[in-house]
Structure 1
Amino acid sequence: MMPGETPPAEPLRVLIVNDSATQRVALRMALAEEPGVEVVGEVPDGYAATSTVIRLRPSVVLLDVVMPGMDGFATAREIMARTPTPIVMITAAADAKSSELILEAMRARALAVTQGLPPRTAPGYVQRRRALAQLLRSMAQVRVGPPPGSSPELPASQDGIPTRPRALPERSKPISLQEPAPTPQGPIVAVGMVASAGGPNAIADILAELPRRVVPPILIVQHIAPGFAPGFASWLAQRTGYPTDLAQQGEALRVGRAYVAPEDRHLGVNALGRVALSDAPPVGYFRPSGTWLLRSLAQTLGPRALGIILSGMGDDGADGTVALRRAGGRVVAQDQQSSVVFGMPKEAIVREGADDVLPLTAIPGWILRWIRSTG
Structure 2
Amino acid sequence: MGKKIRVLIIDDSASVRQTLTSVLAADPAIEVIGTASDPFMAAKRIQEDIPDVITLDVEMPRMDGITFLRKIMAQRPIPVVMCSSLTEAGSETLLQALEAGAVDIIVKPRIGAADYLAESGMRICEVVKSAAQARIGSGRSARRPVGGASPQAKLTADAVLPPPTGKAMARTTEMVVCVGASTGGTEALREMLEQLPGNAPGIVIVQHMPEKFTAAFARRLNGLCEMEIKEAEDGDTVLRGHVLIAPGDRHMLLERQGARYYVSVKSGPLVSRHRPSVDVLFRSAARSAGANAMGVIMTGMGDDGARGMEEMHQAGALTIAQDEASSVVFGMPKEAIARGGVDRIVPLDQIAREILAQDRRR
TM-score, with length taken from structure 2 = 0.84
Residue 85 (structure 1) shift: 0.8
1:70 counterpart letter in structure 2: M
Aligned counterpart for 2:221 among listed residues 233, 236, 239:
236
Counterpart Cα distance in 2 of 1:139 and 1:209: 27
The equivalent of 1:119 in structure 2 is: 111
| CA contact 1:309–1:344 (8 Å) conserved in 2 | yes
Which of these two proteins has the greater Rg computed from alpha carbons?
1
Equivalent residues in 2 for 1:108-187, closer than 5 Å: 108-120=100-112, 123-146=115-138, 186-187=172-173
1:13 aligns with 2:17: no
Q: d(CA) in 2 for partners of 1:185 and 1:29?
A: 52
Does residue 211 in structure 1 map to residue 207 in structure 2?
Answer: no
Q: Which residue of 1 aligns with 2:279?
A: 291
Cα pair distance change 1:304/1:127, threshold 3 Å? closer
Report the RMSD for the aligned CA atoms in angstroms. 2.6
Shift of 1:22: 4.3
Distance 1:128 1:373, change over 3 A: closer
Q: In 2, distance between residues paired with 1:121 and 1:292?
A: 27
Deviation at 1:192, TM superposition (A): 0.3
Q: Distance in 2 between matches of 1:32 and 1:305?
A: 42
Q: What one-letter code is carried by the residue in structure 2 that aligns with 1:79? A: I
What residue in structure 2 maps to residue 246 of structure 1? 231
AA in 2 matched with 1:337: A
Match of 1:300 in 2: 288
Change (3 A) 1:282 1:68: closer
Q: How far 1:122 moved relative to its partner?
A: 5.1
Q: 1:49 aligns with which of 27, 42, 52?
A: 42
| 32 and 318 in structure 1: CA distance in 2 versus 1, 3 angstrom threshold | closer
CA distance in 1, matches of 2:110, 2:223: 31
Change (3 A) 1:348 1:121: closer
Q: CA deviation at 1:285?
A: 2.7
TM-score (norm 1): 0.81
Structure-2 change in CA distance of 1:225 and 1:281 (3 Å): closer
Structure 1 residues 129 and 43, CA, compared in 2 at 3 Å: closer, same or farther?
same
Residue in 1 aligned with 2:53? 60
Aligned counterparts of 2:356 and 2:289: Cα–Cα separation in 1: 18
Residue 311 of structure 1 contacts residue 345 of structure 1 at CA under 8 Å; is this kept in 2?
Answer: yes
Aligned pair partner of 1:347 in 317, 328, 335: 335
* Structure 1 residue runs without a partner (length 5+): 1-7, 149-153, 160-183
Q: Deviations over 1:181-200 (max 9, x none)?
A: xxx95534211000111111
1:27 to 1:209, Cα distance in 2 relative to 1, 3 A: same
> SS state of the match for residue 274, structure 1?
strand
Question: Matched residue pairs, number?
Answer: 335
- How far is 1:49 from its partner? 3.3
- Give the Å deviation of 1:73: 0.5
Q: 1:336 to 1:140 in 2, by over 3 A?
A: same
Secondary structure of 1:13's counterpart equals strand
C-alpha spacing 1:42/1:335, structure 2 compared with 1 (3 Å): same
The unaligned stretches of length 5 or more in structure 2 are 146-169
Identity fraction in percent: 37
1:172 corresponding residue in structure 2: none
Structure 2 counterpart of 1:193, which letter?
A: V
Distance 2:269 2:8 in 1: 35
Rounded to whole Å, the distance in 2 between the matches of 1:320 and 1:121 is 33
Partner secondary structure for residue 9 of structure 2 = strand
Could you tell me how far apart the structure 2 residues matched to 1:265 and 1:310 are? 20
